Amino acid sequence: MYLEFSPQRREEPLDLSRTGDVLTINGTDFDFSDVADDEIRPSATYESDWITQDVTRINGVLHLTLILAHGSNAPQATLFPEPITLSEDGPVTLPEYDIIIEEEILI
């Protein structure tokens, strides 16, 4: 599974987990197993604001573009993300949502 990301400032971080051709996006399962090779499936099919671009399968590999939510202090790796290829099931490690600035506490 080949994942591209479209970064967007959002309040809710992206949470992703893969099981074969099924992606769990923030708790909701999306099954892409019925996408055939070279088929271009419109994003509207999935009624998810995380999936904003068409889904396709090239040479048996599913190609997806997902919104990558980030906070106001996100690192460059999140703001300009690189695509990733998933080969294993389980939770997906994503670029960091935000850099938490430690509270300055002077005692």
Partner 1 sequence: MPDQSPRLQLPYIQPSQAQKHVTHNHALERLDVVTQLVVEAFGAVTPPPAPVMGQIFALDATPLGDWAGQSGLLAQWNGENWLFITPSEGWRAFGVSEQELRTYQGGSWQGLLAGLDQLDQLGIGTSADPTNRLAVASDATLFSHNGAGHQIKINKDTAPDTATVLYQSGYIGHAEMGLAGDNNWSLKVSPDGTVWHQAMVVDSTAQSIAFAPAGTERSVMSDTDFEINVPVSGTAVQTDATDLNPTALMPVGAFGLGATDSIATRLTNGQIPLGSGFYSGSGSSANVATFPNSPSRYSPILSMNRRITTGQYQITRMYFSGQTPIINISSDTGATWGTYNTLYGTKNLVGTVSQSGGDPSGAGIERGANANGEYTRFADGTQMAWNGNAAITTAPASFVGTITKIDGDKLWIGRWF
Residues at the site binding partner 1, with contacts judged by CB under 8 A: 5-11, 49, 52-53, 67, 69-74, 78-81, 103-107
Joined tokens for residue 10? 């959002």
The least distance separating partner 1 from the CB of residue 48, rounded to whole angstroms, comes to 13
The least distance separating partner 1 from the CB of residue 50, rounded to whole angstroms, comes to 11
The least distance separating partner 1 from the CB of residue 61, rounded to whole angstroms, comes to 22
User: Which residue in the block uniquely carries the two structure tokens 């992206």?
Assistant: 14
- For the chain, give the number of residues: 107
**Distances in Å between the alpha carbon of 60 and those of 4, 17, 79?**
16, 20, 29
The least distance separating partner 1 from the CB of residue 63, rounded to whole angstroms, comes to 16
Joined tokens for residue 92? 């997906």
Among 85, 83, 80, 81, CA closest to 62: 85
Q: Which is nearer to partner 1, 36 or 107 (CB)?
A: 107
Q: Which is nearer to partner 1, 9 or 44 (CB)?
A: 9
